[in-house]
Amino acid sequence: MLDKDEYRFIKNDEDWKRFLKKEKIKDYSSMKVRRAKMKGWAQFAFILLRIYIIIMLAIVILGFLHLI
């Protein structure tokens, strides 16, 4: 863990990049993250969840309109 006196030299992005390079640390905040592909039962579960949410929203709307 860095002491406050040790990291006061980081004032801007260039200082941060130099620090990362000097310490040989990867800057994960600048890396792109790919979305995971859903397969199998997880994909099926999320499809059912979407259907359930749509049905519940329809029931709530019908309830507010006093139709049911």
CA distance 31 to 36: 15
pTM: 0.48
Q: Which amino acid is at 67?
A: L
Of 49 and 68, the structure prediction assigns the larger pLDDT to: 49
The 10s digit of each residue's pLDDT in 29-65 is 777 888 888 899 999 999 999 999 999 999 999 999 9
The pLDDT value given to residue 6: 60
Q: For residue 33, what are its two tokens?
A: 């993250």
Nearest to 22 by CA among 6, 38, 36, 34: 6
CA distance 2 to 48: 48
